[in-house]
Chain A
Amino acid sequence: MSVLIYVELDNGSIKKTSLEAVAFGSKVAEKIGEKAVVLAIGHAASAELEKAGNYGASKVLHAADAKLTHENAMAYADVLVQAASQESSKVIILAKSGLGDALAARAAAKLKAGIVSGVTALPEIGDSFQVTRSIFTGKAFATTEIKSDIKILVVRKNAIEIDDSPVSTVQAEITAFTPPLRDEDFQASVSKVEKASSELSLTEAEIIVSGGRGMKGPENWQPLIDLAKALGAATGCSKPVSDLDWRPHHEHIGQTGIKVAPNLYIACGISGAIQHLAGVNGSKCIVVINKDPEAPFFKAADYGIIGDVFEILPKLTEAAKSLK
Protein backbone atom coordinates (compact mmCIF):
# COMPACT_ATOMS: atom_id res chain seq x y z
CA MET A 1 0.00 0.00 0.00
CA SER A 2 1.17 3.53 -0.60
CA VAL A 3 0.36 7.14 -1.32
CA LEU A 4 1.23 7.96 -4.94
CA ILE A 5 2.21 11.51 -5.89
CA TYR A 6 2.45 12.62 -9.50
CA VAL A 7 5.07 15.34 -10.09
CA GLU A 8 4.93 17.63 -13.10
CA LEU A 9 8.22 18.35 -14.87
CA ASP A 10 9.10 21.57 -16.64
CA ASN A 11 12.27 21.41 -18.74
CA GLY A 12 13.64 18.59 -16.61
CA SER A 13 12.88 20.27 -13.27
CA ILE A 14 10.15 19.33 -10.80
CA LYS A 15 7.72 22.24 -10.53
CA LYS A 16 7.52 23.97 -7.15
CA THR A 17 3.80 23.19 -6.86
CA SER A 18 4.65 19.51 -7.42
CA LEU A 19 7.28 19.59 -4.64
CA GLU A 20 4.48 20.92 -2.42
CA ALA A 21 2.38 17.97 -3.56
CA VAL A 22 5.22 15.60 -2.54
CA ALA A 23 5.42 17.20 0.92
CA PHE A 24 1.59 17.03 1.15
CA GLY A 25 1.51 13.38 0.05
CA SER A 26 4.29 12.41 2.46
CA LYS A 27 2.30 13.90 5.35
CA VAL A 28 -0.79 11.92 4.27
CA ALA A 29 1.36 8.77 4.00
CA GLU A 30 2.67 9.38 7.53
CA LYS A 31 -0.89 9.79 8.85
CA ILE A 32 -2.05 6.48 7.42
CA GLY A 33 1.22 4.64 8.06
CA GLU A 34 2.17 4.04 4.43
CA LYS A 35 5.09 5.05 2.24
CA ALA A 36 5.08 7.92 -0.22
CA VAL A 37 5.90 7.00 -3.83
CA VAL A 38 6.48 9.58 -6.53
CA LEU A 39 5.76 9.20 -10.25
CA ALA A 40 7.57 11.47 -12.73
CA ILE A 41 6.81 11.30 -16.46
CA GLY A 42 9.19 12.76 -19.03
CA HIS A 43 12.83 13.76 -19.12
CA ALA A 44 14.63 14.61 -15.84
CA ALA A 45 18.07 13.90 -14.37
CA SER A 46 18.34 11.54 -11.37
CA ALA A 47 19.77 14.34 -9.22
CA GLU A 48 16.60 16.35 -9.83
CA LEU A 49 14.33 13.41 -9.03
CA GLU A 50 16.22 12.78 -5.78
CA LYS A 51 14.82 16.11 -4.56
CA ALA A 52 11.54 14.26 -4.01
CA GLY A 53 13.30 12.36 -1.21
CA ASN A 54 14.04 15.63 0.57
CA TYR A 55 10.30 16.21 0.76
CA GLY A 56 9.56 12.76 2.16
CA ALA A 57 9.23 10.32 -0.75
CA SER A 58 10.92 6.96 -0.34
CA LYS A 59 10.71 5.92 -3.98
CA VAL A 60 10.54 7.62 -7.37
CA LEU A 61 9.14 5.85 -10.43
CA HIS A 62 10.50 7.50 -13.55
CA ALA A 63 8.67 6.90 -16.84
CA ALA A 64 11.00 8.32 -19.48
CA ASP A 65 9.79 6.60 -22.68
CA ALA A 66 10.51 8.94 -25.62
CA LYS A 67 6.81 8.76 -26.61
CA LEU A 68 6.01 10.47 -23.30
CA THR A 69 8.19 13.54 -23.94
CA HIS A 70 5.17 15.57 -24.98
CA GLU A 71 2.44 16.33 -22.41
CA ASN A 72 -0.38 13.86 -23.11
CA ALA A 73 -3.10 13.47 -20.50
CA MET A 74 -4.49 10.26 -22.02
CA ALA A 75 -1.16 8.40 -22.03
CA TYR A 76 0.01 9.93 -18.74
CA ALA A 77 -3.21 8.85 -16.98
CA ASP A 78 -2.69 5.32 -18.26
CA VAL A 79 0.87 5.34 -16.84
CA LEU A 80 -0.39 6.82 -13.55
CA VAL A 81 -3.02 4.10 -13.12
CA GLN A 82 -0.46 1.36 -13.86
CA ALA A 83 1.86 2.88 -11.24
CA ALA A 84 -1.00 3.04 -8.72
CA SER A 85 -1.77 -0.61 -9.35
CA GLN A 86 1.89 -1.71 -9.01
CA GLU A 87 2.24 0.25 -5.75
CA SER A 88 -1.25 -0.64 -4.42
CA SER A 89 -1.88 3.07 -3.92
CA LYS A 90 -4.92 4.03 -1.87
CA VAL A 91 -4.44 7.79 -2.16
CA ILE A 92 -3.23 9.65 -5.28
CA ILE A 93 -2.07 13.26 -5.00
CA LEU A 94 -1.49 15.76 -7.82
CA ALA A 95 -0.75 19.50 -7.91
CA LYS A 96 -3.57 21.61 -9.40
CA SER A 97 -2.91 22.62 -13.00
CA GLY A 98 -4.55 21.93 -16.36
CA LEU A 99 -2.51 18.74 -16.68
CA GLY A 100 -2.98 17.76 -13.02
CA ASP A 101 -6.78 18.04 -13.30
CA ALA A 102 -6.88 16.14 -16.60
CA LEU A 103 -4.74 13.28 -15.23
CA ALA A 104 -6.67 13.12 -11.98
CA ALA A 105 -9.99 13.04 -13.84
CA ARG A 106 -9.01 10.29 -16.24
CA ALA A 107 -7.42 8.24 -13.46
CA ALA A 108 -10.56 8.66 -11.31
CA ALA A 109 -12.75 7.32 -14.15
CA LYS A 110 -10.42 4.34 -14.68
CA LEU A 111 -10.26 3.51 -10.95
CA LYS A 112 -13.82 4.55 -9.99
CA ALA A 113 -12.18 6.77 -7.39
CA GLY A 114 -13.70 9.72 -5.54
CA ILE A 115 -11.95 12.85 -6.76
CA VAL A 116 -11.71 16.25 -5.07
CA SER A 117 -9.95 19.11 -6.87
CA GLY A 118 -8.81 22.37 -5.28
CA VAL A 119 -7.79 20.93 -1.90
CA THR A 120 -6.48 23.65 0.45
CA ALA A 121 -5.33 21.73 3.55
CA LEU A 122 -4.21 18.30 4.73
CA PRO A 123 -7.11 15.81 5.04
CA GLU A 124 -8.68 14.91 8.38
CA ILE A 125 -8.29 11.18 8.66
CA GLY A 126 -10.12 9.32 11.41
CA ASP A 127 -13.28 7.27 11.06
CA SER A 128 -13.72 9.03 7.75
CA PHE A 129 -11.46 10.75 5.20
CA GLN A 130 -12.38 14.44 4.96
CA VAL A 131 -10.85 17.08 2.74
CA THR A 132 -11.43 20.81 2.46
CA ARG A 133 -11.27 22.59 -0.83
CA SER A 134 -11.80 26.03 -2.25
CA ILE A 135 -15.12 26.64 -4.07
CA PHE A 136 -16.91 29.61 -5.70
CA THR A 137 -13.51 30.78 -6.92
CA GLY A 138 -12.18 31.32 -3.42
CA LYS A 139 -15.36 32.87 -1.99
CA ALA A 140 -15.97 29.80 0.22
CA PHE A 141 -14.67 26.40 1.29
CA ALA A 142 -16.36 22.99 1.25
CA THR A 143 -15.51 20.01 3.41
CA THR A 144 -16.15 16.70 1.67
CA GLU A 145 -15.92 13.11 2.80
CA ILE A 146 -14.37 10.72 0.29
CA LYS A 147 -15.90 7.27 0.64
CA SER A 148 -14.33 5.33 -2.21
CA ASP A 149 -11.53 2.82 -1.62
CA ILE A 150 -9.08 4.81 -3.77
CA LYS A 151 -9.04 8.58 -3.24
CA ILE A 152 -7.70 11.24 -5.60
CA LEU A 153 -6.79 14.72 -4.36
CA VAL A 154 -5.77 17.64 -6.57
CA VAL A 155 -3.98 20.11 -4.31
CA ARG A 156 -3.89 23.90 -4.62
CA LYS A 157 -0.70 25.91 -4.32
CA ASN A 158 0.13 26.88 -0.70
CA ALA A 159 -1.98 24.04 0.77
CA ILE A 160 1.15 23.21 2.75
CA GLU A 161 4.22 25.27 3.70
CA ILE A 162 7.45 23.86 2.34
CA ASP A 163 11.07 24.63 3.04
CA ASP A 164 13.01 25.74 -0.07
CA SER A 165 16.06 23.68 0.83
CA PRO A 166 14.96 20.89 3.13
CA VAL A 167 17.48 18.56 4.74
CA SER A 168 17.39 15.13 3.18
CA THR A 169 15.66 12.78 5.58
CA VAL A 170 14.93 9.91 3.23
CA GLN A 171 17.08 8.63 0.40
CA ALA A 172 14.65 8.20 -2.47
CA GLU A 173 15.24 5.10 -4.56
CA ILE A 174 14.86 5.94 -8.25
CA THR A 175 13.45 3.21 -10.47
CA ALA A 176 12.81 3.24 -14.21
CA PHE A 177 9.11 2.66 -14.85
CA THR A 178 8.35 1.21 -18.29
CA PRO A 179 4.69 0.20 -18.47
CA PRO A 180 3.18 -0.80 -21.84
CA LEU A 181 1.70 2.19 -23.71
CA ARG A 182 -1.49 2.09 -25.79
CA ASP A 183 -1.42 3.28 -29.42
CA GLU A 184 -4.87 4.85 -29.15
CA ASP A 185 -3.48 7.40 -26.68
CA PHE A 186 -1.19 8.87 -29.35
CA GLN A 187 -3.63 9.92 -32.08
CA ALA A 188 -3.12 13.67 -31.87
CA SER A 189 -0.30 15.50 -33.58
CA VAL A 190 1.04 18.73 -32.15
CA SER A 191 1.87 21.25 -34.85
CA LYS A 192 2.99 24.22 -32.81
CA VAL A 193 4.07 25.04 -29.25
CA GLU A 194 4.51 28.64 -28.15
CA LYS A 195 6.04 29.16 -24.75
CA ALA A 196 6.94 32.47 -23.23
CA SER A 197 10.17 30.81 -22.11
CA SER A 198 11.93 33.76 -20.47
CA GLU A 199 8.96 34.74 -18.37
CA LEU A 200 8.08 33.30 -14.99
CA SER A 201 4.88 31.24 -15.02
CA LEU A 202 2.07 33.01 -13.13
CA THR A 203 0.81 29.89 -11.40
CA GLU A 204 4.28 29.11 -10.03
CA ALA A 205 5.35 32.69 -9.17
CA GLU A 206 5.85 33.69 -5.52
CA ILE A 207 5.45 37.39 -6.35
CA ILE A 208 3.20 38.93 -9.00
CA VAL A 209 3.01 42.56 -10.10
CA SER A 210 -0.21 43.17 -11.97
CA GLY A 211 -1.60 46.13 -13.91
CA GLY A 212 -5.10 47.35 -14.70
CA ARG A 213 -6.73 50.06 -16.79
CA GLY A 214 -5.16 52.63 -14.47
CA MET A 215 -1.90 52.00 -16.36
CA LYS A 216 -3.56 53.98 -19.18
CA GLY A 217 -1.99 52.13 -22.12
CA PRO A 218 0.39 49.35 -23.16
CA GLU A 219 3.20 51.85 -23.70
CA ASN A 220 3.22 52.64 -19.96
CA TRP A 221 4.05 49.14 -18.75
CA GLN A 222 7.81 49.61 -18.30
CA PRO A 223 7.75 50.94 -14.68
CA LEU A 224 5.65 47.90 -13.71
CA ILE A 225 8.02 45.51 -15.49
CA ASP A 226 10.98 47.23 -13.78
CA LEU A 227 9.46 46.60 -10.35
CA ALA A 228 8.70 42.98 -11.29
CA LYS A 229 12.33 42.51 -12.35
CA ALA A 230 13.67 44.05 -9.15
CA LEU A 231 11.47 41.69 -7.09
CA GLY A 232 11.96 38.61 -9.28
CA ALA A 233 8.21 38.69 -9.92
CA ALA A 234 5.95 37.59 -12.75
CA THR A 235 3.66 40.13 -14.44
CA GLY A 236 -0.11 39.84 -14.72
CA CYS A 237 -3.06 42.02 -15.72
CA SER A 238 -6.81 42.51 -15.28
CA LYS A 239 -9.46 41.39 -17.78
CA PRO A 240 -10.05 44.80 -19.42
CA VAL A 241 -6.32 45.08 -20.09
CA SER A 242 -6.20 41.70 -21.82
CA ASP A 243 -9.49 42.43 -23.67
CA LEU A 244 -7.95 45.68 -24.99
CA ASP A 245 -4.87 43.69 -26.10
CA TRP A 246 -2.58 45.86 -23.98
CA ARG A 247 -1.14 42.63 -22.57
CA PRO A 248 -1.28 38.99 -23.79
CA HIS A 249 -4.27 36.84 -22.82
CA HIS A 250 -2.15 34.41 -20.79
CA GLU A 251 -1.45 37.25 -18.30
CA HIS A 252 -5.17 37.72 -17.52
CA ILE A 253 -5.80 37.03 -13.84
CA GLY A 254 -9.36 36.66 -12.55
CA GLN A 255 -12.48 34.56 -12.46
CA THR A 256 -12.35 33.73 -16.18
CA GLY A 257 -8.56 33.93 -16.42
CA ILE A 258 -5.76 32.45 -14.35
CA LYS A 259 -6.26 31.97 -10.62
CA VAL A 260 -3.09 32.74 -8.71
CA ALA A 261 -1.92 32.22 -5.13
CA PRO A 262 1.43 33.98 -4.72
CA ASN A 263 2.99 35.10 -1.44
CA LEU A 264 2.76 38.69 -2.61
CA TYR A 265 0.36 40.25 -5.13
CA ILE A 266 0.90 43.89 -6.09
CA ALA A 267 -2.05 45.44 -7.98
CA CYS A 268 -1.32 48.65 -9.88
CA GLY A 269 -4.27 50.67 -11.16
CA ILE A 270 -6.75 47.79 -10.73
CA SER A 271 -10.03 48.82 -9.10
CA GLY A 272 -10.76 45.32 -7.81
CA ALA A 273 -13.95 44.08 -9.46
CA ILE A 274 -15.29 40.96 -7.75
CA GLN A 275 -14.28 38.87 -10.79
CA HIS A 276 -10.65 40.01 -10.44
CA LEU A 277 -10.63 39.42 -6.67
CA ALA A 278 -11.82 35.86 -7.29
CA GLY A 279 -8.58 35.17 -9.14
CA VAL A 280 -6.26 36.54 -6.43
CA ASN A 281 -7.94 35.76 -3.11
CA GLY A 282 -5.55 32.86 -2.52
CA SER A 283 -2.65 35.35 -2.21
CA LYS A 284 -0.94 35.61 1.20
CA CYS A 285 -0.35 39.35 1.05
CA ILE A 286 -2.03 41.88 -1.25
CA VAL A 287 -0.75 45.39 -1.99
CA VAL A 288 -3.01 47.83 -3.82
CA ILE A 289 -1.85 51.01 -5.50
CA ASN A 290 -4.66 53.16 -6.86
CA LYS A 291 -5.40 56.86 -7.20
CA ASP A 292 -9.04 56.31 -6.25
CA PRO A 293 -9.41 55.98 -2.45
CA GLU A 294 -12.83 54.37 -3.04
CA ALA A 295 -11.41 51.51 -5.15
CA PRO A 296 -13.01 48.31 -3.77
CA PHE A 297 -9.66 46.50 -3.97
CA PHE A 298 -8.46 48.34 -0.80
CA LYS A 299 -11.03 46.33 1.19
CA ALA A 300 -9.27 43.10 0.17
CA ALA A 301 -5.75 44.48 0.61
CA ASP A 302 -3.17 44.14 3.38
CA TYR A 303 -1.30 47.30 2.35
CA GLY A 304 -2.51 50.21 0.29
CA ILE A 305 -1.09 53.35 -1.28
CA ILE A 306 -3.39 56.04 -2.66
CA GLY A 307 -1.67 57.91 -5.44
CA ASP A 308 -0.34 58.01 -8.97
CA VAL A 309 1.08 54.61 -9.99
CA PHE A 310 3.63 56.26 -12.27
CA GLU A 311 5.12 58.20 -9.35
CA ILE A 312 4.91 55.30 -6.89
CA LEU A 313 6.26 52.43 -9.01
CA PRO A 314 9.78 53.90 -9.52
CA LYS A 315 10.04 54.55 -5.75
CA LEU A 316 9.18 50.92 -5.02
CA THR A 317 11.63 49.68 -7.66
CA GLU A 318 14.40 51.79 -6.12
CA ALA A 319 13.63 50.49 -2.62
CA ALA A 320 13.43 46.91 -3.91
CA LYS A 321 16.83 47.20 -5.60
CA SER A 322 18.45 48.48 -2.41
CA LEU A 323 17.21 45.35 -0.58
CA LYS A 324 19.93 43.26 -2.13
Chain B
Amino acid sequence: MKILVCITNVPDTTAKITFTDNDTKLNKAGIPYIIGPYDDYALARGVELKEQTGGSLTVLHVGEADADPQIRKALAIGADDAIRINADPLDSYFTAFQIAQVAKPGTYDLILMGRESIDYNSGVVHGLVGEMLGIASYSPVMKLEITGSTATLSREIDGGKEVLQAPLPLVLGCQEPIAEWKIPNMRGIMTARTKPLQVLEPVALEELTTPQKYTLPTPKGACKMIPASEAGTLIRLLQTEAKVL
Protein backbone atom coordinates (compact mmCIF):
# COMPACT_ATOMS: atom_id res chain seq x y z
CA MET B 1 0.00 0.00 0.00
CA LYS B 2 1.30 3.44 -0.91
CA ILE B 3 0.55 6.12 1.69
CA LEU B 4 0.95 9.87 1.37
CA VAL B 5 0.92 11.98 4.54
CA CYS B 6 0.60 15.76 4.12
CA ILE B 7 2.02 17.88 6.93
CA THR B 8 1.84 21.55 7.83
CA ASN B 9 4.60 23.60 9.44
CA VAL B 10 2.91 25.80 12.05
CA PRO B 11 3.70 27.96 15.09
CA ASP B 12 3.66 25.97 18.34
CA THR B 13 0.28 26.01 20.10
CA THR B 14 1.67 28.21 22.88
CA ALA B 15 3.19 30.81 20.50
CA LYS B 16 2.20 34.44 20.88
CA ILE B 17 0.93 35.67 17.53
CA THR B 18 1.95 39.13 16.25
CA PHE B 19 2.25 40.69 12.81
CA THR B 20 4.81 42.87 10.99
CA ASP B 21 5.08 44.88 7.74
CA ASN B 22 2.00 46.96 8.47
CA ASP B 23 0.04 43.90 9.65
CA THR B 24 0.47 42.06 6.36
CA LYS B 25 2.87 39.34 7.54
CA LEU B 26 3.13 36.98 10.48
CA ASN B 27 6.04 37.90 12.74
CA LYS B 28 8.01 34.64 12.70
CA ALA B 29 10.82 35.94 14.94
CA GLY B 30 11.30 33.81 18.02
CA ILE B 31 8.40 31.48 17.25
CA PRO B 32 9.09 27.75 17.53
CA TYR B 33 7.62 25.77 14.64
CA ILE B 34 6.15 22.27 14.82
CA ILE B 35 4.45 19.68 12.63
CA GLY B 36 0.71 20.48 12.89
CA PRO B 37 -0.62 18.48 15.89
CA TYR B 38 -3.39 16.87 13.81
CA ASP B 39 -0.91 16.06 11.01
CA ASP B 40 1.28 14.43 13.64
CA TYR B 41 -1.60 12.01 14.45
CA ALA B 42 -2.04 11.30 10.72
CA LEU B 43 1.69 10.62 10.40
CA ALA B 44 1.73 8.30 13.42
CA ARG B 45 -1.18 6.21 12.07
CA GLY B 46 0.37 6.26 8.59
CA VAL B 47 3.63 4.80 9.95
CA GLU B 48 1.71 2.05 11.82
CA LEU B 49 -0.27 1.12 8.68
CA LYS B 50 2.88 1.13 6.56
CA GLU B 51 4.53 -1.29 8.98
CA GLN B 52 1.44 -3.54 9.10
CA THR B 53 0.95 -3.74 5.35
CA GLY B 54 4.60 -3.56 4.27
CA GLY B 55 3.89 -0.53 2.11
CA SER B 56 5.64 2.78 1.67
CA LEU B 57 5.05 6.22 3.13
CA THR B 58 5.85 9.54 1.50
CA VAL B 59 5.54 12.77 3.43
CA LEU B 60 4.52 15.91 1.55
CA HIS B 61 4.71 19.56 2.53
CA VAL B 62 3.69 22.63 0.58
CA GLY B 63 5.89 25.42 1.89
CA GLU B 64 9.31 27.01 2.03
CA ALA B 65 12.71 25.70 3.13
CA ASP B 66 12.23 26.73 6.77
CA ALA B 67 9.99 23.64 7.09
CA ASP B 68 12.86 21.22 6.35
CA PRO B 69 13.58 20.45 10.05
CA GLN B 70 9.93 19.39 10.47
CA ILE B 71 10.11 17.29 7.28
CA ARG B 72 13.31 15.61 8.60
CA LYS B 73 11.45 14.90 11.83
CA ALA B 74 8.68 13.17 9.85
CA LEU B 75 11.35 11.09 8.09
CA ALA B 76 12.87 10.23 11.47
CA ILE B 77 9.44 9.11 12.72
CA GLY B 78 9.17 6.63 9.85
CA ALA B 79 8.40 8.17 6.44
CA ASP B 80 10.50 6.65 3.62
CA ASP B 81 10.92 9.76 1.55
CA ALA B 82 9.67 13.35 1.35
CA ILE B 83 8.52 15.89 -1.20
CA ARG B 84 8.40 19.63 -0.59
CA ILE B 85 6.56 21.89 -3.01
CA ASN B 86 8.62 25.06 -2.80
CA ALA B 87 6.00 27.79 -2.45
CA ASP B 88 4.47 30.11 0.12
CA PRO B 89 0.90 28.77 -0.06
CA LEU B 90 -1.64 31.55 -0.57
CA ASP B 91 -4.75 29.68 0.43
CA SER B 92 -6.33 26.25 0.92
CA TYR B 93 -7.17 25.92 -2.77
CA PHE B 94 -3.54 26.49 -3.77
CA THR B 95 -2.25 23.98 -1.21
CA ALA B 96 -4.81 21.34 -2.23
CA PHE B 97 -4.04 21.91 -5.91
CA GLN B 98 -0.31 21.28 -5.35
CA ILE B 99 -1.07 18.15 -3.30
CA ALA B 100 -3.36 16.90 -6.08
CA GLN B 101 -0.53 17.34 -8.62
CA VAL B 102 1.73 15.03 -6.57
CA ALA B 103 -1.07 12.58 -5.78
CA LYS B 104 -2.33 12.11 -9.34
CA PRO B 105 -4.93 9.28 -9.61
CA GLY B 106 -3.32 5.87 -9.14
CA THR B 107 -0.25 7.19 -7.31
CA TYR B 108 -1.36 6.62 -3.69
CA ASP B 109 -3.92 4.35 -2.01
CA LEU B 110 -4.30 6.47 1.09
CA ILE B 111 -3.79 10.19 1.58
CA LEU B 112 -3.71 11.26 5.23
CA MET B 113 -3.51 14.71 6.80
CA GLY B 114 -4.72 16.51 9.92
CA ARG B 115 -8.37 17.57 10.22
CA GLU B 116 -7.18 21.19 9.96
CA SER B 117 -4.01 23.23 10.19
CA ILE B 118 -3.72 25.15 13.45
CA ASP B 119 -2.67 28.37 11.71
CA TYR B 120 -5.57 28.94 9.32
CA ASN B 121 -8.03 26.40 10.83
CA SER B 122 -9.91 26.03 7.56
CA GLY B 123 -10.33 22.26 7.57
CA VAL B 124 -11.05 22.20 3.84
CA VAL B 125 -7.87 20.86 2.22
CA HIS B 126 -8.87 17.16 2.49
CA GLY B 127 -12.24 17.86 0.83
CA LEU B 128 -10.59 19.92 -1.92
CA VAL B 129 -7.95 17.23 -2.61
CA GLY B 130 -10.63 14.50 -2.64
CA GLU B 131 -12.72 16.37 -5.18
CA MET B 132 -9.71 17.31 -7.32
CA LEU B 133 -8.76 13.60 -7.50
CA GLY B 134 -12.37 12.44 -7.86
CA ILE B 135 -12.24 10.27 -4.72
CA ALA B 136 -14.04 10.24 -1.36
CA SER B 137 -12.82 12.19 1.67
CA TYR B 138 -13.76 11.92 5.34
CA SER B 139 -12.94 14.01 8.41
CA PRO B 140 -12.36 14.00 11.33
CA VAL B 141 -11.29 10.36 11.45
CA MET B 142 -10.59 8.99 14.93
CA LYS B 143 -9.97 5.32 14.11
CA LEU B 144 -8.68 3.68 10.93
CA GLU B 145 -8.12 0.06 9.93
CA ILE B 146 -7.26 -1.18 6.43
CA THR B 147 -8.21 -4.67 5.21
CA GLY B 148 -7.22 -5.37 1.61
CA SER B 149 -8.58 -2.44 -0.37
CA THR B 150 -11.24 -1.41 2.16
CA ALA B 151 -10.92 1.10 4.98
CA THR B 152 -13.00 0.83 8.14
CA LEU B 153 -13.06 4.15 9.87
CA SER B 154 -14.75 5.87 12.75
CA ARG B 155 -15.35 9.56 12.46
CA GLU B 156 -16.86 12.27 14.59
CA ILE B 157 -20.23 13.64 13.50
CA ASP B 158 -22.17 16.37 15.28
CA GLY B 159 -22.90 15.06 18.79
CA GLY B 160 -21.56 11.54 18.23
CA LYS B 161 -19.66 9.27 15.89
CA GLU B 162 -20.22 6.86 13.03
CA VAL B 163 -18.38 3.82 11.71
CA LEU B 164 -18.20 3.26 7.97
CA GLN B 165 -16.54 1.07 5.36
CA ALA B 166 -15.25 2.67 2.17
CA PRO B 167 -13.10 1.44 -0.72
CA LEU B 168 -9.61 2.88 -1.27
CA PRO B 169 -8.30 5.26 -2.46
CA LEU B 170 -9.39 7.80 0.16
CA VAL B 171 -8.38 11.18 1.54
CA LEU B 172 -8.74 11.37 5.32
CA GLY B 173 -8.49 14.26 7.80
CA CYS B 174 -7.28 12.78 11.10
CA GLN B 175 -7.52 13.65 14.78
CA GLU B 176 -6.84 11.91 18.08
CA PRO B 177 -7.21 9.15 19.21
CA ILE B 178 -6.34 7.66 15.77
CA ALA B 179 -2.80 6.95 17.06
CA GLU B 180 -0.36 8.12 19.71
CA TRP B 181 2.15 10.75 18.64
CA LYS B 182 5.52 9.19 17.86
CA ILE B 183 8.83 10.57 19.10
CA PRO B 184 11.78 9.88 16.78
CA ASN B 185 14.48 7.62 18.20
CA MET B 186 18.22 8.05 17.64
CA ARG B 187 18.34 5.49 14.83
CA GLY B 188 15.43 7.23 13.11
CA ILE B 189 17.15 10.60 13.40
CA MET B 190 20.38 9.20 11.92
CA THR B 191 18.68 7.48 8.96
CA ALA B 192 16.46 10.51 8.28
CA ARG B 193 19.55 12.50 7.29
CA THR B 194 20.09 10.39 4.20
CA LYS B 195 16.47 9.73 3.20
CA PRO B 196 15.50 11.52 -0.04
CA LEU B 197 13.83 14.94 0.21
CA GLN B 198 12.77 16.06 -3.23
CA VAL B 199 12.06 19.76 -3.76
CA LEU B 200 9.64 20.57 -6.59
CA GLU B 201 8.50 23.91 -7.93
CA PRO B 202 4.73 24.56 -7.73
CA VAL B 203 2.42 24.20 -10.73
CA ALA B 204 1.08 27.63 -11.69
CA LEU B 205 -2.47 28.46 -10.63
CA GLU B 206 -4.47 31.66 -10.95
CA GLU B 207 -5.00 33.47 -7.66
CA LEU B 208 -8.51 32.91 -6.28
CA THR B 209 -8.05 34.74 -2.98
CA THR B 210 -5.47 37.26 -1.75
CA PRO B 211 -4.66 37.96 1.88
CA GLN B 212 -4.97 41.68 2.67
CA LYS B 213 -4.19 42.23 6.34
CA TYR B 214 -4.17 40.70 9.80
CA THR B 215 -5.63 42.01 13.04
CA LEU B 216 -5.46 40.99 16.68
CA PRO B 217 -8.60 40.74 18.82
CA THR B 218 -9.40 43.70 21.05
CA PRO B 219 -8.16 42.92 24.56
CA LYS B 220 -10.72 41.90 27.17
CA GLY B 221 -11.68 44.35 29.91
CA ALA B 222 -10.83 43.48 33.50
CA CYS B 223 -12.42 40.41 35.02
CA LYS B 224 -15.13 41.28 37.55
CA MET B 225 -14.51 39.30 40.73
CA ILE B 226 -17.38 38.08 42.87
CA PRO B 227 -16.76 36.90 46.45
CA ALA B 228 -17.37 33.15 46.86
CA SER B 229 -19.82 33.84 49.70
CA GLU B 230 -22.04 35.79 47.32
CA ALA B 231 -21.74 33.36 44.39
CA GLY B 232 -25.51 33.45 43.77
CA THR B 233 -25.38 37.11 42.73
CA LEU B 234 -23.40 36.05 39.65
CA ILE B 235 -26.56 34.67 38.05
CA ARG B 236 -28.32 38.03 38.45
CA LEU B 237 -25.33 39.86 36.92
CA LEU B 238 -25.31 37.45 33.98
CA GLN B 239 -28.98 38.23 33.43
CA THR B 240 -29.08 41.99 33.96
CA GLU B 241 -25.54 43.19 33.21
CA ALA B 242 -24.03 40.74 30.72
CA LYS B 243 -27.49 39.89 29.32
CA VAL B 244 -26.55 36.33 28.44
CA LEU B 245 -29.29 34.53 30.41
Contact = CB atoms under 8 A, between A and B. Distances in A.
B119 interface: yes
Given A136-B119, A207-B245, A250-B156, 13 more contacts: A98-B123, A106-B130, A115-B122, A130-B212, A139-B217, A141-B216, A142-B211, A250-B161, A264-B245, A274-B13, A287-B234, A287-B238, A315-B232
Contacts of B139: 98, 101-102
Q: How large is the interface on A (under 10, 10 to 19, 20 to 34, 35 or more residues)?
A: 35 or more
Contact of B224 (A10, A274, A302, A306): A302
A315 B234 CA distance: 10
A316 B232 contact: yes
Contacts of B46: none
Interface string B120-136: 11111111101110001
Contacts of A98: 123, 139-140, 156-158
A259 B217 CA distance: 17
A191 interface: yes
B122 A288 contact: no
B209 interface: yes
A285 to B, nearest CB: 5
Contacts of A302: 220-221, 223-224, 242
Interface residues of B, number: 78
Interface stretch (A28-36, A53-61, A215-223, A293-301): A293-301
Q: Which of A105, A259, A306 has the most CB of B within 10 A?
A: A105
A323 B245 CA distance: 9
Interface stretch (A43-51, A143-151, A159-167, A169-177): A143-151
B215 interface: yes
A201 interface: yes
B9 to A, nearest CB: 14
A134 B138 CA distance: 23
A319 B236 contact: yes
Interface string B84-125: 000000011100100000000000000000000011111111
Contact of A323 (B123, B213, B215, B235): B235
Contact of B209 (A137, A141, A148): A148
Contacts of B224: 302-304
Contacts of B231: 305, 307, 311-312, 315-316, 319
A253 interface: no
Interface string B220-232: 1101111110011
B164 interface: yes
A67 interface: no
A269 interface: no
A62 to B, nearest CB: 20
